[in-house]
Amino acid sequence: MARRERPALSPEAAERRRRHRLVQIRVVVVLTSLLGLNYVTWRWLFSVNWDAWWIGVPLVLAETYSLIDSLLFGLGMWRLRERGEPPEPPPGLTVDVFIATYNEPIDLVMTTARAAQQIRYPHRTWILDDGNRPEMRAAAEAEGIGWLTRSADWAGMPRHAKAGNLNNALLHTDGEFMLILDADQIPLPEILDRTLGYFNDEKMALVQTPQYFVNVPDDDPLGSQAPLFYGPIQQGKDGWNSAFFCGSNAVIRREALMQLGISRYVHEVETGVQQALRSARSVVRRSRAALDPAEVEVRAALDAILADIGRARRELARGVPLFDVTFKFQQRVAAVRQSLVAEDLATLQADLSVLAELEEIAADPDTTLGAMDAGDLGQVLARDLSPLAAVEAV
């Protein structure tokens, strides 16, 4: 007797079914939380045998840990998201398929690369050979498959293994999307047809696909296919917009990845600016402490720089654009520096006038050395210029 196929559900019916399932999951989560908290409270308050605490306490700790783990799992499942069938991918997208390898057997890598070439959606296949093997390059080029390795520019730089291999590939390719595969992952021909449609949402950055092992039977009781992880766990994280990227068998939007790199770069620059401002504050404070009390104008200039440093740090904390903060700060410090330079030049001119007068006195044969103004000479020799070195450090 032939088995009758179930009719396909309409999108509305499928959505109602997903919502009903989510309600059921939330009911189970709430019941588990209430019963579990009630049980663990009873265990701690009434059931622990304190005469044998070395046995009772570890046991109740294990039960408490199990409850916490269950509550966290329930929190993840609270917003479980089942996306259903993917939309049709739009035509004309550019895709790079990356196969990362280092020293895997060439036959194994080429088996994956040939399967990647058979992906139906138009794309370009690349072997990212971090081992820089001539035989790997020859095998790839013989079948029209792209081959990339790191250039001499990476000499002496942190390589970061697979991540660095992919970063190098980003600099030599230009596809809007990239499918990342390990050397032993054979993709199905429809993988891009089943994933690219999700990127119709411009905010979509990553679509992670599950893995299936060809040498594991369908009735495997050990769960080697990781159905829990690639199913409910990832679906729950998808609902919280925090799905894992497992390092392979995923499609990534290049723009999102580049934005992530730019954000990291901006964060590092902001951290460097904050550190520079802290160092500048220390330098100015030391210079200010070394000033003579009579140097009122110089002290006021350094106080102005300290105020500008504090203002710049507060602006960065408020999220003012980094360029605006540093540009305005540098302008204000440059104005203070110009005022100190002008003051130093005036002081130097005055000192040179005093020295010129003393030189005339010393050259006059009718004037003895004692007639020289020793006070003026000592003042010139003991004079300190403004702490321009500190300002330059800022």
> Same domain for 46 and 115?
no
End-to-end CA distance of the chain: 87
Q: Give residue 394's pLDDT band: very low, low, confident or very high (50, 70, 90).
A: low
* Bridge-based pairing state of the strands 146-148 and 124-129: parallel
Residue % of the chain over a pLDDT of 70: 84
Q: Give residue 371's pLDDT band: very low, low, confident or very high (50, 70, 90).
A: very low
Each residue of 17-34: b (16+ CB within 10 Å) or e?
Answer: eeeeebeebeeebeeeee
| Domain contains 224 | yes
Rounded to a whole number of angstroms, the CA Rg of the chain reads: 36
- Ordered DSSP codes for 152-219: GGGTTS---HHHHHHHHHHHH---SEEEEEETT----TTTTTTTGGGGGSTT--EEEPP---TTS-TT
> Same domain for 216 and 280?
no
Q: Are 94 and 178 in contact (CB under 8 A)?
A: no
Residue 241 is part of which domain span? 95-248
Residue 119 sits at the vertex; the CA angle it makes with 242 and 163, to the nearest 5 degrees, is 45
Q: Which residues contact 183 (CB under 8 A, 6 or more apart)?
A: 99, 100, 101, 104, 108, 109, 112
Q: How far is Cα 49 from Cα 51, in angstroms, rounded to an integer?
A: 5
| Domain contains 89 | no
| Domain contains 84 | no
Q: Say which range, 191-200, 207-216, 353-362, has the weakest mean pLDDT.
A: 353-362
Q: Say which range, 79-83, 332-336, 385-389, has the weakest mean pLDDT.
A: 385-389
Taking alpha carbons only, the member of 226, 221, 196 closest to residue 211 is 226
> Same domain for 343 and 373?
yes
Q: How many CA atoms lie within 13 A of 121 on its CB side?
A: 23
> Same domain for 225 and 278?
no
pTM for the structure as a whole = 0.68
Q: Are 232 and 285 in contact (CB under 8 A)?
A: no
Tally Cβ neighbours within 10 Å of residue 297: 11
The structural domain count of the chain equals 3
> Same domain for 294 and 334?
yes
377 pLDDT higher than 50 = no
> Same domain for 239 and 100?
yes
> Same domain for 209 and 268?
no
Q: Which residue has the higher pLDDT, 45 or 299?
A: 45
> Same domain for 183 and 62?
no
